[in-house]
Structure 1
Amino acid sequence: MFLRSLLLACAVLTTPFSLCQAATSDEQKTAHMFSTLQTDPVRLAVFMRQFPKGADLHNHLVGAIYAESYLKWAAQDGLCVSVEQGTILPRACTSTPAKGEKPATDLPSDETAENRMIDALSMRDFVPTANDRSGHDHFFASFAGFGSATEKHAGDSLAEALDRAAQDHITYVELMISPGLGGMIASGNAHPLHGENYEQAMKTLQADLPKLVAQARHETDDMEQQAQHVLHCGTPQAHPGCAVTVHYLYQTLRTVAPSAVFAQLYAGYEMAHTDPRFVGVNFVCPEDDPIAMRDYDQHMRMFQALNAVYPDIKLSLHAGELTPGLVPPEGLTHHIRSAIEVANARRIGHGVDIMWENDATGLLKEMAQKKVMVEINLTSNDIILNIKGKAHPFAMYRRAGVPVALSTDDEGVSRGDLTQEYLRAATTWPLTYQELKQLSRNGLIYSFIPGASLWQDGYIVSACRASETSQCRSFLATSEKARLQMALENNFKQFEADTAHNTLLAN
């Protein structure tokens, strides 16, 4: 069974070089175990938890944090919560709190109130009601609910995200963050656009740009320093999260005035151009929001204009996070295509409405040719869009030869992790172990990590086909991406050696 799958895999042009070599005994045993465990959810979860995962490329830091952490930090900051509204308030409670309000410090002694807050700030146990009708609305409302607890705890959030990634056996995370965002929006509001004269807009904003970028860097510095302190990095007590590599995408909001969107993008591009911690730009907020829908085409032209000035900046864009009925039919016809052809996005986040795009077959072919990767968020698409199981276009993308990788989106709000995404994929589609490994590898192949890839046209580069050579060591020394990819390959070898002799997982 395994050998037949391997021969089929080797017939595909995108199959990595190592797959077409003689599989090790441990790899064969692990592949066989995986095929038998797909009908055993308990043992499959054990297998998948330990399985090495290359990267989580679609991860919003503020949404990655569990509600329990936000409530803990609210208590530390002396904030008040409105249990009635399911919101952490940006202030302390008054001496005579309003109905439904109480200090966050009181929640641990009031189980009912604490559970109501956790449910309000996440998708846990969500059940539609007359006033909270959809998973979509509840999901996005949760961000406003915990927003007041995020301001002082960016570093705590980063530490939590990195420790969870380590627990999940993830090599690399590419987090979406928005430091200095308020100043950028204010600058944009102070300098209205004149039509779509983006060249003039950049000239107008240039005086503000150094200050905006300096503030964003300062906030990033503070976040990282706080995270390092929380994780005890560089000490004997270092947390596992210290070993996870992280870069950032600068995320901008698309539901504000065009001048404010452009100012964010301009500063975000400058951040990614000048600060090596930032490897690209993205934009966020519900795609079906009236402003996001109205201005979508203009936003794509903004990216196009900035690409001409910053040709080195890489884009991963949310596009196609839509379904029929959520927006009118014409709203489903071109967002993914425009993100690729106008904005020149190298990756697409979600891409759920691909089959409603004009000439979907041609678009899929174009994506495969250009190797535009799709960040697949199975849990998120289920709870927000009600796209479940095989109704998801995951299999269609793979059938068309479009590269895909699994990601979490907002694992704290969704109450999951990357293991959960792999479990969903493995129990929904008949994936082989080698296909599972390719999903993991894709996370690093299509990441925006600097440096040449260990893989070229589906093969390991010639310098490293024998890894323990001076030629390979020299190649790895020049590329952060290749070093992380090699680390993943070594993690696979160790995982397979351990799994092959794990009696709990054996038949």
Structure 2
Amino acid sequence: MLLCARSFTPASFLFCLVIAAHAQVAATSSAPAVAKATGAAATPREQRAIKAFNAARESPLQLNAFLTRMPKGADLHMHLAGAVYAETFIKDGAADILCVNPSTHSFFKPDATTRSIPPQPVCGEGNVRAEDAFKDQKLYDALVDSFSMRAFVPSAGVSGHDQFFATFDRFRSLNKSHTGEWLDEVATRAASQNEQYLEVMETPIFTNLSKIVSNIEWPTTPADPAQNRTGDATGTSREDLSHLRDTLLNAGLRDQVAVDRKELDDALDTRDRIENCGQPSARAACSVKVRFLYQVLRAFPPQHVFAQTLLAFEVASVDPRVVGLNFVQPEDAYLSMSEYHRQMLMLDYLHSVYPKVHIALHAGEIAPGLVPPDGLRFHIREAVDLGHAERIGHGVDVMYENEPQALLKELADRHIMVEINLTSNDVILGVTAAWHPLPSYRAAGVPIALSTDDEGVSRIDLTNEYTRAAMEFNLSYLDLKQSARTSLEHNFLPGPSLWQQPDVFTKTVAACAGQPLGGANPTPNCLSFLQSSEKAAEQWELEHRYDLFESSVQ
């Protein structure tokens, strides 16, 4: 029924019910694949939790309350700038002495401030101060709506996609000194929902890098036309890219590594200070482990994308807090589409130089109508085969790709996880349950995990995504538990998995076999193994949380 909430006429409502029924059948039909993956009957505690879950799902509100407490493992797909709620940005805009353009409801930095104490921004005729929002409810509401999807209604020429991506420019003037505060916000929200690990996508400052790139021309060696799948792939031979890498390094690119690491130091120190981490008064948010994925902006000219990608590999090679990288910005943007193949070739080369750096990629975050049909045919395939993606973000276009069944089989066989973002796919792409590939992924045995994408802009949290998956796709308690376990199976923390076989959560490695999963007192051998593997330690902690949760369910 949630699927039909946007249908208003009797005819459209009936059509929606039919589609929803088909979606439920599709979702249910994938259950055997999941049961095969888990490979074990429910334990008595799981049976009690299943009973409570089934009772709660009679009401979305009751289900949401149940799922808030349920351990969820990790959120592996979240952008920091998009994860912060608009109310925080308004407070920070006032603190930064910013101005507001009332026609666009965007922040901007003033050209001058007054000499008063405290200083006030000189915003110019027709503009207002950000702090005025605290005295003007209409301005406050307009800023919240401008910085998020709240109250958005599509209109002629303005889609949900347009509103979503436009929000980021509207608060871009905020000072990066707030990053630690923003990390505290997302960690606090995660802790309140029984999450334990976040891989946060963030783009460190790269002003100096832009200056370096501005003096470097792109190589002009022609590429093999047979490899020129999209746009111009000129200059992407191994020799060309190797020469460009040497040129950038010789021009001082590595100097930016220390700058980016210092930025992370400051942000994490601020977060720890806010949360009193390491002190007797430490807040619950301290228990949420935060690591970073280095965001590369792909809707830029190729030399800029290559330079930033090279910097991402360099930082991730020396800073254990940066566990990998990802390409961001709208996948349907002109440069994102026309440069897609060349960007995958860049990754193919850089992966050969830095093979230990993890790669997750936004791929297939496009839908029919948003791009021409040919644009839907190869993004996930190239992300895997050329981009060396270990995880795929969104993957919405998979059934439109060339030979989709073979692609699904490859994803399953290679254990390449798909990050599922239901609300994001709805508000940005207009893709809801009947048209979402989640059932196809599950039926094919492809590992999936639910994530938020941009919980602040979308005005959601991870519990909302779990609730949506249960209500719209008929996912069971064990399916959701599988998603939580999968999220920690596919995180980029160092060390081997707790489990003997990838994505089969029935038998642990020998060191931890024959004892209660997640027990507070693991054997010496098991403890030694857990201490040697951050990944396995987080997986053990998840099992501990499930033991507590399932024991407490009434």
Q: Same fold (TM over 0.5)?
A: yes
Match of 1:205 in 2: 248
Secondary structure at 2:149's aligned position in 1?
coil
- In 2, Cα distance between equivalents of 1:35 and 1:183: 55
- Amino acid across the alignment from 2:243: Q
Mark the CA change 1:184 to 1:221 in structure 2 (over 3 Å): closer, same or farther: same
Secondary structure at 1:133's aligned position in 2?
coil
- Amino acid across the alignment from 1:147: R
Alignment of 1:183-262 (within 5 A): 183-194=208-219, 195-196=235-236, 197-207=240-250, 208-262=252-306
- Amino acid across the alignment from 1:204: T
Equivalent in 442, 459, 479 of residue 398 of structure 1: 442
The answer on 1:179 being equivalent to 2:200 is no
The answer on 1:327 being equivalent to 2:371 is yes
Equivalent in 511, 515, 521 of residue 463 of structure 1: 511
Match of 1:14 in 2: 37
Mark the CA change 1:176 to 1:95 in structure 2 (over 3 Å): closer, same or farther: closer
- Amino acid across the alignment from 2:155: T
* Residues 188, 262 of structure 1: 8 Å contact kept: no
Match of 2:471 in 1: 427
Secondary structure at 2:171's aligned position in 1?
helix
The answer on 1:125 being equivalent to 2:148 is no
- Amino acid across the alignment from 1:236: P
Match of 2:21 in 1: none
Q: Shift in Å at residue 432 of structure 1?
A: 2.1
* Residues 98, 121 of structure 2: 8 Å contact kept: no
Secondary structure at 2:389's aligned position in 1?
coil
Mark the CA change 1:146 to 1:96 in structure 2 (over 3 Å): closer, same or farther: closer
* Residues 75, 197 of structure 2: 8 Å contact kept: yes
> What are structure 2's unaligned runs of at least 5 residues?
1-27, 114-119, 220-234, 517-521
Mark the CA change 1:45 to 1:397 in structure 2 (over 3 Å): closer, same or farther: same
> What are structure 1's unaligned runs of at least 5 residues?
501-507
- In 1, Cα distance between equivalents of 2:439 and 2:58: 20
* Residues 33, 444 of structure 2: 8 Å contact kept: no
Q: Shift in Å at residue 159 of structure 1?
A: 1.1
- In 2, Cα distance between equivalents of 1:52 and 1:406: 13
The answer on 1:484 being equivalent to 2:538 is yes
Equivalent in 126, 130, 133 of residue 104 of structure 1: 130
- In 1, Cα distance between equivalents of 2:148 and 2:207: 25
Q: Shift in Å at residue 344 of structure 1?
A: 1.1
- In 1, Cα distance between equivalents of 2:176 and 2:125: 24
Secondary structure at 1:395's aligned position in 2?
helix
- Amino acid across the alignment from 1:108: F
- In 1, Cα distance between equivalents of 2:292 and 2:254: 20
Secondary structure at 1:206's aligned position in 2?
helix
Q: Shift in Å at residue 259 of structure 1?
A: 0.5
Secondary structure at 1:70's aligned position in 2?
helix
Q: Shift in Å at residue 12 of structure 1?
A: 4.8
- In 1, Cα distance between equivalents of 2:550 and 2:313: 41
The answer on 1:337 being equivalent to 2:381 is yes
Q: Shift in Å at residue 238 of structure 1?
A: 2.1
- In 1, Cα distance between equivalents of 2:437 and 2:448: 11
- In 2, Cα distance between equivalents of 1:116 and 1:146: 13
Q: Shift in Å at residue 96 of structure 1?
A: 6.7
* Residues 348, 374 of structure 1: 8 Å contact kept: yes
* Residues 186, 260 of structure 1: 8 Å contact kept: no
Q: Shift in Å at residue 57 of structure 1?
A: 0.2
The answer on 1:165 being equivalent to 2:180 is no
Match of 2:106 in 1: 87
- In 2, Cα distance between equivalents of 1:408 and 1:182: 29
Mark the CA change 1:312 to 1:96 in structure 2 (over 3 Å): closer, same or farther: closer
Mark the CA change 1:237 to 1:102 in structure 2 (over 3 Å): closer, same or farther: farther
* Residues 54, 170 of structure 1: 8 Å contact kept: yes
Mark the CA change 1:428 to 1:187 in structure 2 (over 3 Å): closer, same or farther: same
Q: Shift in Å at residue 235 of structure 1?
A: 2.4
- In 2, Cα distance between equivalents of 1:184 and 1:422: 40
Deviates further, 470-479 or 375-384: 470-479
- Amino acid across the alignment from 1:140: F
Secondary structure at 2:173's aligned position in 1?
helix
Q: Shift in Å at residue 181 of structure 1?
A: 2.5
Q: How many residues align?
A: 488
Q: Shift in Å at residue 499 of structure 1?
A: 1.4
Equivalent in 40, 47, 59 of residue 28 of structure 1: 47
Mark the CA change 1:315 to 1:399 in structure 2 (over 3 Å): closer, same or farther: same
* Residues 85, 459 of structure 2: 8 Å contact kept: yes
Secondary structure at 1:127's aligned position in 2?
coil
- In 2, Cα distance between equivalents of 1:429 and 1:11: 13
Match of 1:282 in 2: 326
- In 1, Cα distance between equivalents of 2:477 and 2:350: 41
Secondary structure at 1:390's aligned position in 2?
helix
Mark the CA change 1:96 to 1:307 in structure 2 (over 3 Å): closer, same or farther: closer
Q: For each residue in 1:233-257, what CA deviation from the matched residue of structure 2 results, as whole angstroms up to 9, or x when unmatched?
A: 2223322111101111111100111
Match of 1:360 in 2: 404
Mark the CA change 1:254 to 1:237 in structure 2 (over 3 Å): closer, same or farther: same
Secondary structure at 2:268's aligned position in 1?
helix
Secondary structure at 2:177's aligned position in 1?
coil
- Amino acid across the alignment from 2:247: T
Secondary structure at 1:56's aligned position in 2?
strand
Match of 2:229 in 1: none
- In 2, Cα distance between equivalents of 1:349 and 1:190: 33
Match of 1:71 in 2: 90
Match of 1:504 in 2: none
Alignment of 1:442-461 (within 5 A): 442-457=486-501, 458=504, 459-461=507-509
Q: Shift in Å at residue 177 of structure 1?
A: 1.0
Q: Shift in Å at residue 142 of structure 1?
A: 0.2
- In 1, Cα distance between equivalents of 2:125 and 2:435: 46
The answer on 1:151 being equivalent to 2:151 is no
Match of 2:551 in 1: 497
- Amino acid across the alignment from 2:43: A
Mark the CA change 1:140 to 1:96 in structure 2 (over 3 Å): closer, same or farther: closer
- Amino acid across the alignment from 1:244: V
* Residues 367, 429 of structure 2: 8 Å contact kept: yes
Deviates further, 267-276 or 237-246: 237-246
Q: Shift in Å at residue 390 of structure 1?
A: 3.0
Q: Report percent identity of matched pairs.
A: 43
The answer on 1:308 being equivalent to 2:377 is no
* Residues 62, 150 of structure 1: 8 Å contact kept: no
Mark the CA change 1:95 to 1:295 in structure 2 (over 3 Å): closer, same or farther: closer
Q: Shift in Å at residue 152 of structure 1?
A: 2.4
Q: Shift in Å at residue 102 of structure 1?
A: 1.1
* Residues 53, 169 of structure 1: 8 Å contact kept: yes
TM-score w.r.t. structure 2 length? 0.85
Match of 1:503 in 2: none
Secondary structure at 2:324's aligned position in 1?
strand
Equivalent in 384, 402, 408 of residue 428 of structure 2: 384
